[in-house]
Amino acid sequence: MQQGGSSSPSCSASTPHCFPLGHLNAAACGSETSPEPQKHEVNAHSAPAGLSRMRPIIIFYTWYLLGLALSVACVVCVCVWSSKWRGGFAWNGSGLQFNWHPVLMVTGLVVLYGNGAVLYRVPLTWGQNKLPWKLLHAALMLLALILSIVGLCAVFDFHNANKTPNLYSLHSWIGIAATALFAIQWVAGLAVFLLPCSPISLRILLKPVHVWMGGSILSLSIAACISGINEKLFFVLKGNTNGTLPYNALPPEAVLANSLGVLIVAFGMVVFLILSNHKWQRPDSRPEDMAYTPLLQEESE
Amino acid sequence: MQQGGSSSPSCSASTPHCFPLGHLNAAACGSETSPEPQKHEVNAHSAPAGLSRMRPIIIFYTWYLLGLALSVACVVCVCVWSSKWRGGFAWNGSGLQFNWHPVLMVTGLVVLYGNGAVLYRVPLTWGQNKLPWKLLHAALMLLALILSIVGLCAVFDFHNANKTPNLYSLHSWIGIAATALFAIQWVAGLAVFLLPCSPISLRILLKPVHVWMGGSILSLSIAACISGINEKLFFVLKGNTNGTLPYNALPPEAVLANSLGVLIVAFGMVVFLILSNHKWQRPDSRPEDMAYTPLLQEESE
């Protein structure tokens, strides 16, 4: 569950599992023999072009593209479920307003969030200046947070319009906890890792907490999605009482929504795989390189 | 989600965040300057006894004890729910047989599993011979797997006795996937990391997969538990139809079972915190030290 952990694997120039990015290798592999921190410049073309040395990059992008494909599949699947099987969308307190809830939570709290989490792992982002990618990371996470909050508003409005109590189920407890922790994480991340007023010692102290909390929030989001899909299918597929086939007969809607749950879990596993592989970690995410120039100074350069 | 990852943080003898275990420090901190792999002997008494140097160990054991306390709380909570609120236990196809399901899944697939996963992080286990702890890790995981399978048998028997279909809900899909992956993980772990016939290159290749899959299984288990508790409460707290208060009125049983869900999530977060901290990683779990003597050779020494 490491997004930008505190360590680096040992390897030499001939170690086959390290990324073939020329002098990036020494930094990525955390050589402790260099007396001075190195500046890292990405120039993949300067690396030996042998196919065998490109293999780690190809493996990374294979997993990354699988993650993107699963992202698209999750969003398409939840949209089809809400529009085709649940009647579409509205914002009028009806069940059609509720339909925004799964779409926005899956898109925001899982898909956008997971893609924002792995952003720094993409070798294309390993330029000398981390700032644009930090801003993109923060922007993706902010968009994810906004979608999640609108998704919560959809279900609160629906409950209030139908005189249904809010926040009684375990699903709602886990979902609201995930969103609240996400909001705290985003504000703390902005204050600690982007604004220039935070001391470097605080960044070094809080980086592992940010990484651990980031992974925990994704796990909570997935648990909330699984329990929410499960709950919704028991609510709407009642068999004799509302003219549908019961959930336990596995009608097509149940297969679709269960498959959505499987896709969400598969996406989460790919995200955790990418985050857990230290060979795919951004070179200057090592703690000794965390003393980068903060936001305002970088902007003035 | 690192259980025994492939990297090690850089530090010196004076680095305050490294464990104060004397010469263990150099190994734990992954110094690349030593030309020969070092043998690691645990002797905490040989370390400087200053309170400030004991701080990392105190912090580790604080989290570890919190994990143990949450383990006990989860097991007590699920037992009280099944015995006091759901009528107790039997093995006769009735609802009392179903009651074994949450108890055994929470105890096996979450509590025992999570404690088995963090075993190698306990500094007391960092002796020169890893074999006893590998065997204890395997034994704890086998016990967890057996409890989980018996927990699945309980619900299958209950469904079959009541002519209820099996494996239709998303909860059941996620739960069966978690148990199946756990079984595969255990057999693969035995074959690759304990039996002497597996080559070292295979161990090095599969260690990160074992670690990533281990974390994924725990995440799946937690998602299955949350969705299962949520589903059960909607089933049994129906309000007017069975004389109970409805779930949305949050009767005491609902508060207890929701709290069980929160405890499970908190336990999972503590486990992931311990696993994600490389400073708490067993020194000889580094890939260059994975060429340890396999089971039969170790036994014959």
Q: In whole angstroms, what is the distance from residue A133 CA to residue A125 CA?
A: 7
More confident residue, B208 or A25: B208
- Measure in Å the smallest separation between the Cα of B299 and chain A Cα atoms: 30
B179 domain residue, yes or no = yes
Q: Is the CB of B219 less than 8 angstroms away from the CB of A268?
A: yes
Q: Using one digit for the tens of pLDDT, what is the confidence trace for A71-100? A: 999 999 999 999 999 999 999 999 999 999
With an 8 Å Cβ cutoff, is B250 touching chain A? Answer: yes
Q: Using one digit for the tens of pLDDT, what is the confidence trace for A201-238? A: 999 999 999 999 999 999 999 999 999 999 999 999 99
The pLDDT of residue B30 is above 80: no
> Which chain B residues have a beta carbon less than 8 Å from that of A165?
248-250
Burial (CB < 10 A; 0-12, 13-18, 19+), residue B31, is middle
Q: Is the CB of A5 less than 8 angstroms away from the CB of B10?
A: no
The pLDDT of residue B5 is above 80: no
With an 8 Å Cβ cutoff, is B35 touching chain A? Answer: no
The pLDDT of residue B294 is above 90: no
Q: Using one digit for the tens of pLDDT, what is the confidence trace for B66-87? A: 999 999 999 999 999 999 999 9
As a whole number, mean pLDDT of residues B99-126 equals 97
Q: In whole angstroms, what is the distance from residue B15 CA to residue B52 CA?
A: 11
Contact A113, A182 (CB under 8 A): yes
What pLDDT, on a 0 to 100 scale, did the predictor assign at position A48? 54
ipTM for the whole complex: 0.83
The pLDDT of residue A147 is above 90: yes
What pLDDT, on a 0 to 100 scale, did the predictor assign at position A52? 76
- Domain interval for residue A128: 58-300
What pLDDT, on a 0 to 100 scale, did the predictor assign at position A244? 82
Q: Is the CB of A174 less than 8 angstroms away from the CB of B276?
A: no
A265 domain residue, yes or no = yes
As a whole number, mean pLDDT of residues B166-193 equals 98
Determine the Cα angle at B131 with ends B126 and B133, to 5°. 55
The pLDDT of residue A170 is above 70: yes
As a whole number, mean pLDDT of residues A122-127 equals 90
pLDDT band at B296 (very low <50, low <70, confident <90, very high): very low
Q: Is the CB of A169 less than 8 angstroms away from the CB of B234?
A: yes
For residue B268, the SS3 value is helix
Contact A20, A57 (CB under 8 A): yes
A39 domain residue, yes or no = no
| CA distances, A153 to each of A148, A166, B33, B101 (Å) | 9, 11, 57, 35
Average pLDDT of chain B is: 83
Average pLDDT of chain A is: 83
Contact A196, A295 (CB under 8 A): yes
What pLDDT, on a 0 to 100 scale, did the predictor assign at position B50? 66
Q: Using one digit for the tens of pLDDT, what is the confidence trace for B186-214? A: 999 999 999 999 999 999 999 999 999 99
CATH number for the domain spanning A270: value is 1.20.120.1770
Contact A49, A70 (CB under 8 A): no
B12 domain residue, yes or no = no
Q: Is the CB of A287 less than 8 angstroms away from the CB of B7?
A: no
Contact B202, B132 (CB under 8 A): no
What pLDDT, on a 0 to 100 scale, did the predictor assign at position B77? 98
> Which chain B residues have a beta carbon less than 8 Å from that of A8?
7, 10
With an 8 Å Cβ cutoff, is A113 touching chain B? Answer: no
pLDDT band at A42 (very low <50, low <70, confident <90, very high): very low
User: What's the total number of domains in chain B?
Assistant: 1
> Which chain A residues have a beta carbon less than 8 Å from that of B170?
226, 229-230, 233, 257-258, 261
Contact A280, A61 (CB under 8 A): no
Q: How many Å separate Cα B257 from the centre of its chain?
A: 21
Give the burial string for A264-295 (b: 16+ CB within 10 Å, else e).
bbbbbbbbbbbbbbbbbbbbbbbbebbeeebb
B155 domain residue, yes or no = yes
What pLDDT, on a 0 to 100 scale, did the predictor assign at position A50? 66
**Sign of the CA dihedral running A185, A187, A188, A193:** positive
Q: In whole angstroms, what is the distance from residue A206 CA to residue A203 CA?
A: 5
A181 domain residue, yes or no = yes
What pLDDT, on a 0 to 100 scale, did the predictor assign at position A55? 87
B187 domain residue, yes or no = yes
A234 domain residue, yes or no = yes
Q: In whole angstroms, what is the distance from residue A106 CA to residue A99 CA?
A: 12
With an 8 Å Cβ cutoff, is B1 touching chain A? Answer: yes
What pLDDT, on a 0 to 100 scale, did the predictor assign at position B258? 98
More confident residue, A28 or B195: B195
Q: Which of residues 136-175 of B touch A (CB under 8 A)?
A: 164-165, 168-171, 173-174
The pLDDT of residue B232 is above 50: yes
Q: Is the CB of A212 less than 8 angstroms away from the CB of B249?
A: no
Q: Which of residues 186-215 of B touch A (CB under 8 A)?
A: 208, 211-212, 215
Q: Using one digit for the tens of pLDDT, what is the confidence trace for B270-281? A: 999 999 998 899
